[in-house]
């Protein structure tokens, strides 16, 4: 009768034993042959029988591949030999049956799986790993990718995602971008992330420069709501309290102006006092723009304060 026994390595094996009347019962029949020194050595290895079988299968595949390669070199048909070797490997069980994707946190996994699943049922020997990687790098979110085989039947995809740092508004569309300005995906106004908004043509390509600029004033960086790239030459910064700061052209000039503004805000609390705009484009002038109602009130107060002439 047949019994299922768990043998070394945790694998279920089907074995056949006989009842009391069998010729091979305990203590009957011819004594078994003693194992050879090679068999004893294999038995002593800390691996399961399944693993040994897979290693043996792979060794056989390797021998066949080498043999076919040698024949192909002699006959001048390496492409045919490679195809035959791949077919032999697939028939031996070395064929892509599983896909494992790792490192995906924010991006949609579906495009990654669509690329990887195109390799299913393909021989492990015929996988074009660089080509698969190139296809992965075309996805906006993917900063880097590593593609590898895990024998006998798994394709492993390790993804390194880009980090979103801002939302780019251009031509009425909103796009999530990384520090290099690479577009990651479109976003809707209803699902705006808590990130600065950069506005203007090519503003996405200036995001790295904007981040570097804001590092000169770390106290102002968390207050930044957005920035507009004006005339492809300078920034207008918008703060969460509603004010706009116009900076001059050039990296050094804009950094100097921003540092001076941060110093004045630290002393006099310029932000949050209802001022509409600060203009620092001219290094010799600091211009403030007040709300229109405040301008009218000050003009009226100034007119009332003027001395009246005597009536004659």
pLDDT digits (tens, 9 = 90+) for 257-285: 999 999 999 999 999 999 999 999 999 99
- Residue 103 sits at the vertex; the CA angle it makes with 222 and 122, to the nearest 5 degrees, is 150
| Calpha distance 241→243 (Å, rounded) | 6
| Calpha distance 276→177 (Å, rounded) | 29
Buried b (16+ CB within 10 A) or exposed e, 180-192: ebbebeebeeeee
What sign has the CA pseudo-torsion 190, 192, 198, 203? negative
User: To which residue do tokens 């290895």 refer?
Assistant: 45
First-to-last alpha carbon distance for the chain, in angstroms, is 137
Average pLDDT over the chain reads 77
Is the model's pTM score more than 0.85? no
In this prediction, what percent of the chain has a pLDDT beyond 90? 52
Which has the higher per-residue pLDDT, 47 or 15? Answer: 47
pLDDT of residue 57: 59
pLDDT of residue 167: 96
- What angle, rounded to 10 degrees, do the helices at 207-214 and 251-268 form? 40
Q: Is 221 helix (H, G, I), strand (E, B) or coil?
A: helix
Say whether pLDDT at 133 is over 80.
yes
Say whether pLDDT at 44 is over 70.
no
Name 244's Cβ contacts closer than 8 Å, sequence gap at least 6.
Answer: 236, 237, 238, 276, 277, 278
């Amino acid at each position: 009768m047949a019994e299922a026994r768990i043998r070394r390595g945790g694998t279920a094996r089907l074995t056949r034993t006989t009842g009391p009347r069998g010729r091979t019962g305990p203590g009957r029949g011819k004594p078994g042959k003693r194992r050879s020194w090679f068999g004893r050595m294999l038995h002593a290895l800390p691996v399961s029988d399944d693993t040994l079988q897979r290693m043996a299968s792979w060794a056989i595949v390797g021998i066949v591949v080498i043999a076919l390669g040698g024949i192909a070199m002699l006959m001048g048909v390496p492409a045919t030999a490679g195809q035959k070797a791949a077919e032999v490997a697939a028939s031996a069980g070395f064929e892509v049956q599983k896909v494992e994707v790792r490192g995906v946190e924010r991006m949609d996994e579906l495009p990654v799986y669509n690329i990887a699943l195109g390799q299913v049922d393909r021989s492990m020997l015929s996988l074009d790993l660089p080509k698969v990687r190139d296809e992965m790098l075309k996805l906006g979110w993917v900063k880097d990718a590593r593609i590898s085989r895990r024998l006998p039947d798994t394709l492993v995809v390790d993804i390194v995602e880009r980090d979103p740092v801002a939302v780019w508004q251009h031509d009425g569309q909103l796009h999530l971008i990384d520090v290099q300005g690479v577009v990651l995906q479109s976003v809707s106004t209803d699902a705006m992330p808590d990130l600065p908004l950069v506005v203007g043509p090519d503003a996405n390509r200036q995001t790295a420069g904007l981040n570097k600029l804001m590092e000169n004033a770390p106290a102002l960086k968390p207050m930044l709501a957005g920035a507009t790239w004006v005339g492809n030459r300078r920034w207008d910064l918008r703060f969460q309290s509603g004010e706009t700061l116009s900076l001059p052209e050039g990296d050094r000039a804009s950094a100097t102006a921003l540092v001076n503004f941060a110093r004045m805000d630290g002393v006099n609390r310029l932000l949050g006092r209802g001022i509409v705009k600060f203009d620092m484009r001219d290094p010799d002038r600091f211009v403030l723009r007040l709300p229109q109602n405040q301008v009218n009130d000050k003009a009226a107060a100034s007119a009332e304060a003027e001395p009246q002439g005597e009536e004659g």
